[in-house]
Amino acid sequence: MSDETKPETPDVPVTPAIHTDAMWDGGPQWVEHLGHEPVWVETKAQYFEELNKRGLRIKGMQESSTGPERLIVDPTSAPPAPIRDFSADDARAMRIAEVTLSRYGLLEALSCDRCFTLNQPDGTRVESSTSAMRVECRCGVRQYRAPAGTDLGGSLASSTLTLADVTDGVAFSPDGAGKHLPTTLLTAEDARVLLAYVRVLRSHRLSARWFCRGCWDGRPIEGHDLQKALTDDKIVMVCQCRIRFWQGVAH
Ligand SMILES: [Zn+2]
Ligand SMILES: [Zn+2]
């Protein structure tokens, strides 16, 4: 009988952003997804809108300042949990992904979401070998050291560039204009490796920016990484010179 029912659909993201109890119900954990919730969208404009809807800002991208101001997380309200070491499985997944990224002509910069949440520089230093994986940031060190005689796998020496295997694709800019680009199709196995890797990173509150060897000229990394979207059944990476794409079932 009452008309006081409040609509709960946050479909129209109006400033200021939603900062409801619901957002904090899960405690500090939800910030793990800061900027990394896998969202499949068709355009860049839509992509930023999706992030904005969630009250997130996008780190390291010029575009993060566009659009109306929305919620910036106050780090003092929910201190994030401490970091933890990698497991053997984590380290192996990271080693294998390293080879896979290299084969697709991709360079990587890892950053720490926990540092980001704490408003401190979020860069990391990565040391990777057949016996150890180590990522250091302002929070400390996440690492795994294999027992003597154990090999974590992954050897860049054995990697061969697979970019030659191309078809044709179209990338759409925010205004809807299409641009034809050579498109490299990822294999299901490589897709599985990358998806597993991104899951490992996310579980350690790390995130990756990837850069194309073919078109990244070494400019400052901020805002020059390729656009990417990874979901369980689709991977899209768009840089200036090509599209890397996979669609299917990764298992
Ligand atoms: Zn950190
Ligand atoms: Zn490129």
Residue 10 CA to ligand 1 centre (angstroms): 31
Q: Which pLDDT belongs to residue 90? A: 97
Ligand 1 is an ion; its neighbours by CB within 5 Å are 112, 114-115, 137, 139
**What is the rounded distance in angstroms from the CA atom of residue 134 to the CA atom of residue 144?**
6
**What is the rounded distance in angstroms from the CA atom of residue 103 to the CA atom of residue 195?**
16
- Say yes or no to pLDDT of 207 above 70: yes
Spatial CA neighbour of 228 closest among 56, 61, 29, 54: 61
Each residue's pLDDT tens digit, 228-240: 999 999 999 999 8
Peptide bond into 174 cis (omega under 30): no
**Backbone torsions φ then ψ of 186, nearest 5 degrees:** -80, 150
Q: Which pLDDT belongs to residue 168? A: 77
- Residue 155 or residue 226, greater confidence: 226
Residue 5 CA to ligand 1 centre (angstroms): 42
Q: Which pLDDT belongs to residue 198? A: 96
Cβ count near 170 (within 10 Å) = 11
User: Can you tell me whether residue 244 is helix, strand or coil?
Assistant: strand
Q: Indicate the domain borders of the chain.
A: 21-77
Each residue's pLDDT tens digit, 80-133: 789 999 999 999 999 999 999 999 999 999 999 999 988 899 999 999 999 999
Q: Which pLDDT belongs to residue 130? A: 92
Residue 226 CA to ligand 2 centre (angstroms): 8
Q: Which pLDDT belongs to residue 217? A: 81
Residue 125 CA to ligand 2 centre (angstroms): 24
User: Can you tell me whether residue 237 is helix, strand or coil?
Assistant: strand
Residue 212 CA to ligand 2 centre (angstroms): 4
The pair of structure tokens assigned to 42 is: 């068709």
Residue 175 CA to ligand 2 centre (angstroms): 21
State the ligand closest to the CA atom of 105.
2
Spatial CA neighbour of 224 closest among 235, 213, 211: 211
Residue 82 CA to ligand 1 centre (angstroms): 9
Q: Which residues pair with 170 in a beta bridge?
A: 180
With bands split at pLDDT 50, 70 and 90, how would you rate the model's confidence at 51? low
Q: Is residue 206 within 8 Å of 111, Cβ to Cβ?
A: yes
Residue 228 CA to ligand 2 centre (angstroms): 12
Q: Which pLDDT belongs to residue 50? A: 55
Between vectors from CA 18 to CA 15 and to CA 22, what angle results, nearest 5°?
A: 175
State the ligand closest to the CA atom of 112.
1
Residue 136 CA to ligand 1 centre (angstroms): 8
**Backbone torsions φ then ψ of 199, nearest 5 degrees:** -65, -40
Residue 214 CA to ligand 2 centre (angstroms): 5
With bands split at pLDDT 50, 70 and 90, how would you rate the model's confidence at 1? very low
The mean pLDDT of the chain is 74
Classify residue 223 as left (phi > 0), alpha (psi -120 to 50) or beta. left
The pair of structure tokens assigned to 89 is: 């499985």
